[in-house]
């Protein structure tokens, strides 16, 4: 097994969900890497 690797025993019909919270640093890195500076990447749901 590789470090950080996840092994799952799945069966037909199984449902998997993943959740991720994006930080301000994640959004800033996305902006730099993609060059996409649209305002919807810089506003929060609180704005």
The whole domain housing 41 covers 1-47
pTM of the entire structure? 0.46
What pLDDT sits at residue 47? 55
Total domains present in the chain: 1
Q: What span, in angstroms and rounded, lies between the C-alpha atoms of 4 and 21?
A: 19
pLDDT, tens digit (0-9, with 9 covering 90-100), for 1-47: 567 777 778 899 999 898 999 888 988 898 889 988 887 766 766 65
Conformational region of residue 31, where left means phi above 0, alpha means psi within -120 to 50, and beta covers everything else: alpha
Query: Which spans in the chain are helix H?
Result: 24-34
Kindly report the length of the chain: 47
CB 37 within 8 A of CB 31: yes
């Amino acid at each position: 097994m590789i470090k950080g690797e996840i092994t799952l025993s799945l069966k037909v019909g199984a449902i998997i969900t993943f959740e991720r919270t994006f930080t301000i640093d994640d959004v800033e890195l996305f902006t730099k890497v993609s060059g996409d500076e649209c305002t919807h990447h810089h506003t929060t749901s609180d704005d």
